[in-house]
Structure 1
Amino acid sequence: MSVQISFDHRVQSLFPVVLVSILILGSARWILDGLKSENSEIFKTYRHKNREAVFVSDEDSLEQSCNVFEGQWVWDNVSYPLYTEKSCPYLVKQTTCQRNGRPDSYYQNWRWKPSSCDLPRFDALKLLDVLRGKRLMFIGDSVQRGTFESMVCMVQSVIPEGKKSFHRIPPMKIFKAEEYDATIEYYWAPFIVESISDHATKHTVHKRLVNLDAIDKHGKSWEEADILVFESYVWWMYKPQINATYRPKTDEVREYNVTNAYRIALETWAKWLETTIDPMKQRVFFMSMSPTHLWSWEWKPGSDGNCFNELYPINNPSYWGTGSNLEIMEILGDVMQKVRVNVTLLNITQLSEYRKDGHTTVYGERKGKLLTKEQRADPKNFADCIHWCLPGVPDTWNEILYAYLLHSHRNLF
């Protein structure tokens, strides 16, 4: 009997320990399950209190072997577009093709599908968590401004009214997500280096004068950004020659071959990166050239038009138009290979080459004004086959950037 009493006593004494253990394990399981769900209260609470509260799954992370720049455009009118013109108040008239009278919307419903993997589905809340306390800055010309507007439109709908702001401080535009202390910014610098075209509104491509070794004036606005996305191409290509100064040799203005000038400018940019960027805290991307579709004979032999009235992507996987300069691509690759700072190339050129249908054509602006009825009736002379409608192709560029940011964030934390 005494043995049985002793055994019962030991069991009773262990019961509270077992009960507490079960409760602890159950609570831990509840917390972990809660952290996995973005709709859970614990996720919402943790996300807003902890700087790094972003949960990147295997599906979000890019495979090391995956080339996201090789693939095809597939029709997807269920998941795309990611936003609409009406849902985003930050679009300028240059990109709102539907509002400006474009009769079709097919260009909004194509999804980029890499050949050997899938891009993670864009999640604005995850991106905002990655950007918490950070500055993401797009630097370049009006094509890059469209990329900036695209990114703002992709995230702004999940932010409540009163918790976001948009400011124009030339040469910059700044969107801020207040609760995340995060900004998405744009900086007008069509040549990256300094030029007479650096005024945000008073500039013209017809008069180009570039200071090939001058970048510090711009750099003061860039140096504190956490993520920098550079782009520079179209403004260089107006004519084969460009007027420039290069002080190590002479202060005088002289004519340079565009490709030589582009290389010198990029080398100036590379030196700025090496002396300014902290690779432990900052990330640098360079977006390759945005292609033009000025001559329809390139994809439709015998025709004499341009991108106007084009409704579908080019279906030739090896297509490369004359609007994308291979020598410029080689120079970019050469400079990036030599720079002693890690720069990620976003090689969007080939995938964008297929999208002859995505340009603003006659449904955009020229010199700050919408085209007149007479100008729209003359697409051969007035169609814009450089800039892109939004929603549209630049959204894919940002989806790729998003994938890289998620991937690096997961590897870092």
Structure 2
Amino acid sequence: MGSTSPFKDHHHHQQQQSYPITKKLLPWALYALLPLAIFRLYLHPLDLFSENEVITKDLQNKPIIVSTAPKPVEEVRNDCDYSNGEWVEDKMGPLYNGTSCGTIKDGQNCMGHGRPDSGYLYWRWKPSQCQLPRFEPTKFLSLLENKHLAFVGDSMARNQLESLLCLLSSVSHPDLVYTNGDDNKFRRWHFPSHNVNVSVYWSPFLVKGIEKSNTGFNFNKLFLDSVDNRWALDLEQIDMLVLSVGHWFLHPAVYYENDSVLGCHACEGLNHTEIGFFDVLRKAVKTTLKAITDKSITDGNQIDVILTTFSPAHFEGEWDKNGACSREKPFEEGEKALEGMDADMRNIEVEEIEEAKNKVIQVDRLRIEALDVTKIAFMRPDGHPGPYMYPNPFADGVKDRVQNDCVHWCLPGPIDTWNEILLQVVRQWEAESMRRRG
């Protein structure tokens, strides 16, 4: 029953006839082609590969193929204003914790000191105009490969530095290669994986200053026409600077310019004119940016400058009163306005950065940018150590008086966002450089 294909027997018979011939000829054909292929490779070794590939050797002297094609220009938005937006809940949380990172200053290790709530770890900054990508440690290290990044300024510079070290440590362990000064105020780490150096320089005014002491005068002395040589003398070996100042200008101080007293701030008992600190901050930033610019132009060195804007404190009441900064959630948009001193400090810094950018717009080897985090920081009253600047502050019961830190930031915490934006600034600069190189 059923039909039979008229080609079935013919096909089977043809296979039986041709198979022995094919079986005999195939090995001879391969033996003949092999010498030709070897001879072809000997005469033209690179023709077998793409025009964007070359043969090299690895560390064990084994040949490998490496692409020489130009890297594609990374698409990075340069029109995003990261400074405006809102904090939104985020289930993912931080890249590190208080025990996995060994570079956190003791006073900012809120998790290690027993802070009971963890909600402050699960918020993410959402800019109004675009998305802020999560921090990519490997990407940051590759962009800074063979370079020296230095954080210069007050304890907020150190706070941001330690945040960055913890973020990077999630993929590559740094070696502490230098330390000096009280409280390790001058330190340097090296990431062998990418030959990246990261340093911190204590310089709370950026300009030359003499800090008040418990045994001498109780006010700072600032020399507004000279930068602090503790960092300035190392400019030749620094590729990128992240500056951060502001809070130390609120302390009593006497100001000098051109070897004479310019005025003072909160200097009761001294025969000097009270001039506040806003204009002094402006002069200090201006002097600093000019010194860096002049050094770069004179020496012909490329240097990138980023100024992290003023980070507001969140004291509610007395600094040693329980609950001085006890909020557990960010402010919502419109809940509280950024105004007064916080806004003025931020505006001065942004204005000076813009002025400096306009002056060096034609200088290819100098790039300047503001890392505008003032509003971002202002909206996070929940991110400070508070009483957990010390271990287990309520182990013996709740106290009415307890020292609080409502200035610095828990690690991990909101300040990690500063470095997420820092990465975007560096990525944008790199993309622009690649486009210019064409």
TM-score bracket, normalised by the shorter chain, equals 0.7 to 0.9
Structure 1 contact 361–383 (Cα < 8 Å) conserved: yes
Q: Does 1:210 align with 2:229?
A: no
Residues 1:223 and 1:316: Cα distance change in structure 2 (over 3 Å): same
Q: Is the 8 A contact 1:197 1:203 kept in 2?
A: no
CA distance in 2, matches of 1:333, 1:110: 26
- Give the alignment partner of residue 257 of structure 2, picking from 246, 256, 259: 246
Evaluate the alpha carbon distance shift between residue 150 and residue 205 of structure 1 in structure 2; reply closer, same or farther with a 3 A threshold: farther
CA 1:46–1:371: 2 relative to 1, 3 Å: farther
CA distance in 1, matches of 2:133, 2:407: 28
CA contact (8 A) 2:209 2:222 kept: yes
Q: Of 343, 353, 371, which residue of structure 2 is paired with 1:346? A: 371
Partner of 2:345: 328
1:165 to 173, 176, 196: 176
- Residue in structure 2 matching 1:405, options 417, 420, 426: 426
Identity of aligned residues (%): 26
Residue 325 of structure 1 aligns to a residue in which SS?
A: helix
Q: Deviations over 1:246-296 (max 9, x none)?
A: 225459984542112222222221321231125862110111000111127
Matched, 1:178 2:192: yes
* Larger Cα-atom Rg: 2
Deviations 1:208-253 (A, max 9, x none): 22222221513113343111010111111235xx312222545998
SS state of the match for residue 363, structure 1?
A: helix
Using the TM superposition, give the Cα deviation of residue 315 of structure 1 relative to its aligned residue in structure 2, in angstroms. Answer: 0.7
User: Given the alignment, which residue of 151, 157, 162 partners 1:138?
Assistant: 151
- C-alpha distance in 2 between matches for 1:147 and 1:324: 22
Q: Which residue of 2 aligns with 1:292?
A: 313
Return the letter of the residue paired with 1:308.
C
Alpha-carbon distance in structure 1 between the residues aligned to 2:433 and 2:106? 39
Deviations for 1:145-184, whole angstroms, at most 9, x for unmatched residues? 1100000011123125xx7335323341111112322111
Q: Which moved more, 1:85-94 or 1:269-278?
A: 269-278
Q: Which residue of 1 aligns with 2:327?
A: 310
- Is contact 1:173–1:186 with CA below 8 Å preserved after alignment? yes
Instruction: Pick one of 378, 389, 398 that aligns with 2:400.
Output: 378
Using a 3 Å threshold, how does the CA distance of structure 1 residues 373 and 190 change in structure 2: closer, same or farther?
farther
Structure 1 pair 362/54, CA: closer, same or farther in 2 (3 Å)? farther
Give the aligned CA root-mean-square deviation in angstroms.
Answer: 3.8
| 2-structure distance, mates of 1:189, 1:203 | 21
Post-superposition CA distance 1:17-43 (Å, at most 9, x none): xx99xx999964997xxxxxxxxxxxx
CA distance in 1, matches of 2:197, 2:83: 27
Residues 376, 321 of structure 1: CA spacing in aligned structure 2 closer, same or farther, 3 A cutoff? farther
Q: How does 1:11-410 map to 2 (within 5 A)?
A: 28=50, 57-58=74-75, 61=76, 63-78=77-92, 80-159=93-172, 164-170=175-181, 171-197=185-211, 207-218=219-230, 219-238=232-251, 242-250=253-261, 254=272, 256-278=275-297, 281-295=302-316, 307-317=324-334, 319-321=336-338, 324-339=341-356, 340-341=359-360, 342-365=367-390, 377-378=399-400, 382-410=403-431
Task: Say which SS state the counterpart of residue 384 (structure 1) adopts.
Answer: coil
Structure 2's unaligned 5+ residue stretches are 1-32, 54-63, 265-271, 361-366
> What residue is the counterpart of 1:3 in the other structure?
none
Contact 1:290–1:352 under 8 Å retained in 2: yes
The answer to whether the 8 Å contact 2:114/2:392 transfers is no
- CA deviations on 1:302-332 (whole Å, 9 max, x unpaired) are xx98653311100134733567433333322
What's the offset of the Cα at 1:98?
Answer: 1.1
Contact 2:387 2:403 in 1 (8 A): yes
Does the CA-based 8 Å contact 1:376-1:382 persist in structure 2?
Answer: no
> Are the counterparts in 1 of residues 203 and 228 from structure 2 also a CA contact under 8 Å?
no
TM-score, with normalisation over the residues of structure 2?
A: 0.72
Deviation at 1:374, TM superposition (A): 7.8
CA contact (8 A) 2:328 2:382 kept: yes
Any idea what SS the aligned residue of 1:228 has? strand
How much has 1:128 moved relative to structure 2? 0.9
For 2:229, the aligned partner's letter is K
**Aligned-residue offset at 1:361:** 0.3
Superposition pairs of residues 3-14 of structure 1, within 5 angstroms:
none
State the shift of 1:94 in Å: 1.1
1:291–1:376: structure 2 CA closer, same or farther, 3 Å change rule? farther
Query: 3-state SS of the aligned residue for 2:226?
Result: coil
Q: 1:258 to 1:156 in 2, by over 3 A?
A: same
- Residue 26 and residue 408 in structure 1: after superposition, are their counterparts in 2 closer, same or farther (change >3 A)? farther
Kept in 2: contact 1:293–1:323 (CA 8 A): no
- Which secondary structure state, in structure 2, belongs to the residue aligned with residue 378 of structure 1? coil
Q: Distance in 2 between matches of 1:338 and 1:256?
A: 23
CA distance in 1, matches of 2:71, 2:323: 45
Aligned in 2, Cα 1:292/1:402: closer, same or farther, shift over 3 Å? same
